[in-house]
Structure 1
């Protein structure tokens, strides 16, 4: 273990919920190093919680323990688990779909259900609405500090038993590729798709090629226009749309110094489809 604990929630920072989780963790081991992944996951948005874990986890050292609490089913019969990834990191979380992208994109080698008879904050047994504090922070801190081993979390269950959210796999034909808008680069309003750069390159493309980009929400077309594939925002003029490769090696859609998401009211998830069709370059005489 690295003695590092990385926490993600949909709690925000306007009250004491996150601070209470810190307090529990520090009470387990004052030497723990605690970091925030984000506490701005939209309320109850399990999909975004899943993606933010995937976006972040590979850049942390082996042995790092993550806690993710986006838990609309708190107090129900949904399981509380700790998983070990193929990269030897750990995630403490409700089993409600939060591990979808980790399982699909990174890999899970083992899953254990948290035994709350051992791994639960003392004297919290009658509380059913703050498992982030009472179960996940307590268990995560004990694991990160070495008080317990992964095997002491609780009984092991099959990896295939993990709950997964529905995902749409990208498709390609001779002239086009189709995927989904998985997430937003929130501050800048860029669209991050699930289309890998390597899949896109199978269209035999070059920087500067033009594409007809179509975005649909279920069966309703939201956007359709021609844009250029560039290395970076410097390859487009101010206010122009651009196709680029993002920091996860997947296709992104942006407006140079503008918010594409706000301009066209784009959201994310498996029902937000995007297609890119290669079109001839327009040459003006």
Structure 2
């Protein structure tokens, strides 16, 4: 299926001409191609975040869309250049360095091919070894999206299970607690996004309005512990107060209403950042019964 849709992601930023050069290459292949940016603000060399941003985005695009993701600290090395087809018919072109982790684990990859760089490479770029995003990925992506080449013409097929994946710890329930990892930040607002899905909350019978005890650890070091409400929206908490909520990916999020949780508590992301929740113990308030004699005494004193 020819989509004519090309979506670019990188850690290049837009302060120089790198992204523009990728646009230029794609347009030289097909001046009618439609090019979109997923993001170019991936932190430098952060393969984990590149992987997650693909998961966040790919499923919402039409079948046949071609994605190019270039976060490539190993550029020029022996790492493979790969194109995969997802279970819902999208294509992703990227270094085979772990960028496909979340797509492989949660969406599914049905076929993978290694780019034949003798064929699918920008003409006259053979002596350049440090800008594969322009010379190989954008060029191949534009050719694939435009129908100049088919997926089969990208290069030789490889087994899907050979695609490189980063380690990921799945969320789990133990006793009355639920533990997962902080996968990513909702960057602009500083919210924490976890891999704890809403179905796991149901297994612990956690309902909106419940008070939850939240513990955050980096490795074995406890970074944060507090009790907060599980709210349907941020309106369930006061300004400046923490809240547990379900984010746009149907996973658990932690936020401060109109504040940045990540900045205030210096929380990061990745497989070594864990978050555990459980229902907070209900506080029981009781009034001491006052005897008639004590009441009479107090009245006399006043």
TM-score (norm 2): 0.93
Q: Give the Cα–Cα distance (whole angstroms) in 2 for the partners of residues 224 and 198 of structure 1.
A: 23
Paired residues for 1:11-90 under 5 Å = 11-90=12-91
- Partner of 1:2 in structure 2? 3
SS at match of 1:129: coil
- Partner of 1:122 in structure 2? 123
Residues 209 and 281, structure 1, Cα contact 8 Å, conserved in 2 = no
- Partner of 1:157 in structure 2? 158
Paired residues for 1:1-285 under 5 Å = 1-282=2-283
SS at match of 1:115: coil
Q: Give the Cα–Cα distance (whole angstroms) in 2 for the partners of residues 235 and 201 of structure 1.
A: 19
Q: Give the Cα–Cα distance (whole angstroms) in 1 for the partners of residues 124 and 285 of structure 2.
A: 75
Displacement over 4 Å in runs of 4+ = none
Deviations 1:237-281 (A, max 9, x none): 111100000000000000000000001000000000110021233
- 1:284 CA displacement: 6.0
Residues 184 and 268, structure 1, Cα contact 8 Å, conserved in 2 = yes
Q: Give the Cα–Cα distance (whole angstroms) in 2 for the partners of residues 284 and 12 of structure 1.
A: 55
Residues 228 and 241, structure 1, Cα contact 8 Å, conserved in 2 = yes
Residues 24 and 138, structure 1, Cα contact 8 Å, conserved in 2 = yes
Deviations 1:7-64 (A, max 9, x none): 0000000000000000000000000000000000000000000000000000100000
Please say which structure displays the higher CA radius of gyration: 2
- 1:283 CA displacement: 6.2
- 1:177 CA displacement: 0.2
Deviations 1:138-186 (A, max 9, x none): 0000000000000000000000000000101111023110000000000
Deviations 1:202-244 (A, max 9, x none): 1012111111100011111100000110101011111110000
SS at match of 2:142: helix
Q: Give the Cα–Cα distance (whole angstroms) in 1 for the partners of residues 52 and 180 of structure 2.
A: 16
Q: Which runs of 5+ in 2 are unaligned?
A: 287-302
Q: Given the superposition, is the C-alpha separation of residues 8 and 284 from structure 1 closer, same or farther in structure 2, using an over 3 Å criterion? A: farther
SS at match of 2:245: strand
- 1:201 CA displacement: 1.4
SS at match of 1:261: helix
Moved more, 272-281 or 178-187: 272-281
Q: Give the Cα–Cα distance (whole angstroms) in 2 for the partners of residues 281 and 101 of structure 1.
A: 37
Q: Give the Cα–Cα distance (whole angstroms) in 2 for the partners of residues 31 and 162 of structure 1.
A: 32
Q: Give the Cα–Cα distance (whole angstroms) in 1 for the partners of residues 223 and 79 of structure 2.
A: 36
Residues 93 and 136, structure 1, Cα contact 8 Å, conserved in 2 = yes
Q: Give the Cα–Cα distance (whole angstroms) in 1 for the partners of residues 150 and 203 of structure 2.
A: 45
- How well do the aligned residues superpose, as a CA RMSD in angstroms? 0.9
Q: Given the superposition, is the C-alpha separation of residues 243 and 283 from structure 1 closer, same or farther in structure 2, using an over 3 Å criterion? A: farther
